[in-house]
Structure 1
Amino acid sequence: MNKVNKVIEEDSKYLMQSFRRWYPLVVDHAIGSLVYDVEGREYIDLNAGIGVVALGHNHPKIKEAIAEQMEKFFHYSLTDFYYELAVDVAKKLSSLMPFSAKVFFTNSGTESVEGAIKIARWHTKRQYVVGFINSFHGRTMGSLSFTSSKSVQRSFFSPLLPSTLLIPYPDKRNPLFKDVDSLMEFVEDWLFEKVVDPNEVAAFVLEPIQGEGGVVVPPDDFLPKLRALTKKHGILLIVDEVQTGIGRTGKMFAFEHYNVEPDLVCLAKALGGGLPLGAVVGRSEVMDLPPGSHANTFGGNPLALSASKVVLEEVPKLLRRVNDVGKEIMEELMDARSPYVHEVRGKGLMIGLELRKGKRPFKEGLEKALIESFRAGALPIGAGESVVRLLPPLTIEEELAIKGTRIVRESVERL
């Protein structure tokens, strides 16, 4: 038995199999935009650890920053004591927002969403929160109440968080969605008139671009019109930028594409440079929870913060090339000669290629395309029901990006 099969067999024996692997990749080490398995095979990373390693693997400045911090201290709970590094990163995050902000550090995206929901309820003294169908916000019980990209994510976990409502996302694939004006009318004339008084709604929570749901880019007028509606009723707007934030879409935050100012922004993934770190960044006047009402032990870990400081210094320098390389990748995918390619969509280096067989999602085609890409040396992942998703490191070399994309394109063409 080779080493790959041995690890996979023992993984099946000792780890709970509640997650799905797209193909049998057993990672040994990685550098930049290249990943190597335990048998020495080389792959082009087109998923960056699900959008986490924005600066690529083993970035020298991140390694140097972590090593320097390790000589000082690994941990000292930020919610009970103080350290300067947390202030430095919070100041940087605040400076990137279009409003005066305060920060609460977490360990993950789902924890950021949970924190944002608590903040919204406390600040407004209202209990209802409205989310959108086909979203992914995490798997803990609060965030899971708004996650709905696949029914298996929610099956047999009820009851979930009470006073939560889900409405259609502005997705042209959804037969219930006509246009943004109709969606806003539905909220005003039906949701608020028949189901819940807007004075009881604390917040709307959404992804500015749905990631796990299939890289769904909403119409340009969606966020501005939703923002206007929430302001009219004194409702907060929570934007989940866990996947879209920190440069992924060609701007530091995806909400910037739509010229809106949210009240609370949820971050994680790329924020920690590969280490577990998340954050809720909110308007200063909204971040008004009293001492003792919300805390954690590991949020704002100093090693993760040292990496984050590098990420927040380096990513703004990459935004132009993120857009340029992303455009080249999309053009390459649009050249795919296959009857199964329904659409190529995305922004920056958050790109999806949707496969359909007739009018139905081509799930088997997605699985085959991913396996074939893996065997040929590229590592895309899936999203939605049948979308090939590309989230390469923001630092990926143009040559590698195109080489990897061509592998994906050819894998789709062979279906």
Structure 2
Amino acid sequence: MSALLKEPARIATPEMHTEYGPKLVAPLPGPRAQKIVAEDESLMSPSYTRSYPLVVKRGYGCRIEDVDGNEFLDFTAGIAVNSTGHCHPEVVQAVQNQAAKLIHMSGTDFYYDLMPQVAARLSAVAPMPGPHRFYFGNSGAEAVECAMKLARYHTGRQSIISFFGSFHGRTMGALSLTGSKIQQKRRFGPFVPGITHIRYPYSYRGCSGGVEAEETLGLACARFIEETLFKTTLPPEEVAAIFVEPIQGEGGYVVPPNVFLEEIRCICDRYGILMVADEIQSGAGRTGKWWAIEHSGVQPDIVCIAKGIASGMPLGICMAKANIMNWVPGSHASTFGGNPISLAATLATMDIIEREALANVATVGTAAIARLSKWVEKYELVGDVRGRGLMIGVEIVENKQSRKQAGLLRERIVDLAFERGLLLLGCGENTIRLCPPLIVTQQEMDVALDILEECIALAPRS
């Protein structure tokens, strides 16, 4: 828990009350927030990772209002979930209309038209050629669990390759694939057998710089599979799938060179291995394309979808080529998966993304990355800026020479931003992630970056 809970932050000054910026009217945390945090800490699981004492009352657009009347700019989007912003009126209307007609009947045992409607819409924007088939669950972890089971079922093989730095979820199968933070795995073993982790091409920490060096690193990481694993410890004919994030999310918003994904695809093709793209955080328009893997031109066999696809309603989706999803009735199912309300929200979300959000991500995201990239030269503690669209990471280091990870300094920047009305989250050991709603305006982005820059300048001496 942040020290802010013990020592309320300053009251906002008049100049902070801008049309597009936050509006802070009470100390942080305020009296109502403090009361709720205390109640929460006495009742809720201590496994939750709260960064600072934000107690939410309501949200709209890119804004969150807390229980004491403070208004924040939200650049977390509920961990990249609220893709169309908080309570987008079209999503709200779709949810309300559907709730008045049908809340639940379980698509596992019965039929309703929303399931094929959403499947058809997703098939039309799939990153691989059809026909496709779909499984609906409730979360990203469930989508990953489905993909793991499907890969083993379809291929008849048991082994799976994943990557260090990856995050695929916290249920036992998804956690077995995850290679992000040791605390996520501590005291939970033994894990699902047959998982091998290898290095992911983290260019800032793996090469001296430049496109050629990045491509060399990308090829080396991918070719390690064929040149080392398959010759020493892992028979290729026993590998069912390679699970890969086209951009690592929790691992630090790490963007691999395209040749890495291209080579993974080639290896999969040579040995009859399925390529599974985990697009849970990077998909649904977050990078300016429907799916982050589209930037590389690589076509996966299976795609895991969740987070932003339903604007905050619970939905996890496993999308596969139709010939791959060839299991028989009873092989896999979910009582609540494909809930009618979540599917109605998905249709509204896809309308908004197609109509305006994709173009907005390209425009606002490109301008943001251009501005942020200048900070690498301007500030000693900004080691790297990377990302695509509105999936942007700012890596914080002690100094540029050592590139030593400065996790505590990153946390201080996040706290300072909260004090000034900007909501941020970290990822990886020392990276700040920027993942605002896809409908964020240029003015809101400008205000947010102004605040973040102020916090970066203040952090070393605060």
TM-score by length of 1: 0.98
Matched, 1:13 2:22: no
Helix, strand or coil: the match of 2:116?
A: helix
Matched, 1:163 2:194: yes
The 5 Å alignment of 1:266-281 reads: 266-281=304-319
Contact 1:272 1:278 in 2 (8 A): no
Q: Which residue of 2 aligns with 1:395?
A: 439
Q: Which residue of 2 aligns with 1:99?
A: 129
CA RMSD of aligned residues (A): 1.3
1:327 to 361, 366, 371: 366
Q: Which residue of 1 aligns with 2:226?
A: 188
The 5 Å alignment of 1:375-386 reads: 375-386=419-430
Contact 2:218 2:256 in 1 (8 A): no
Q: Which residue of 2 aligns with 1:368?
A: 412
Q: 1:292 to 1:58 in 2, by over 3 A?
A: same
Matched, 1:338 2:379: yes
2:65 to 32, 36, 41: 36
The 5 Å alignment of 1:212-361 reads: 212-317=250-355, 318-336=357-375, 337-358=378-399, 359=402, 360-361=404-405
Letter matched to residue 167 of structure 1: I
**5+ long unaligned stretches in structure 1:** none
Contact 1:332 1:406 in 2 (8 A): no
Contact 2:276 2:303 in 1 (8 A): yes
Q: Deviations over 1:74-123 (max 9, x none)?
A: 10110100000111001111111132111100100001000000000000
Contact 1:8 1:24 in 2 (8 A): yes
Shift of 1:231: 0.4
Q: Work out the percentage of aligned pairs sharing the same amino acid.
A: 40
Aligned residues: 415
Distance 2:69 2:410 in 1: 26
Shift of 1:173: 4.3
2:455 to 403, 411, 414: 411
Letter matched to residue 298 of structure 1: F
Contact 1:332 1:402 in 2 (8 A): no
Letter matched to residue 245 of structure 2: E
Shift of 1:174: 4.7
Matched, 1:209 2:239: no
Helix, strand or coil: the match of 2:85?
A: coil
Q: Deviations over 1:356-409 (max 9, x none)?
A: 013311111111100100111111110001111010000011101110121112
Helix, strand or coil: the match of 2:397?
A: strand
Distance 1:71 1:160 in 2: 43
Shift of 1:164: 0.7
Distance 1:227 1:207 in 2: 13
Helix, strand or coil: the match of 2:180?
A: coil
Q: Which residue of 2 aligns with 1:143?
A: 174
Contact 1:180 1:219 in 2 (8 A): yes
Distance 2:367 2:424 in 1: 16
Q: 1:112 to 1:17 in 2, by over 3 A?
A: same
Letter matched to residue 342 of structure 1: G
TM-score by length of 2: 0.88
**5+ long unaligned stretches in structure 2:** 1-29, 208-213
Q: Deviations over 1:3-62 (max 9, x none)?
A: 111111111100011021111111111111111111101110101000011111111111
Q: 1:17 to 1:74 in 2, by over 3 A?
A: same
Letter matched to residue 115 of structure 1: C
Contact 2:221 2:260 in 1 (8 A): no
Contact 2:364 2:445 in 1 (8 A): yes
Contact 1:361 1:386 in 2 (8 A): yes
Distance 2:326 2:386 in 1: 39
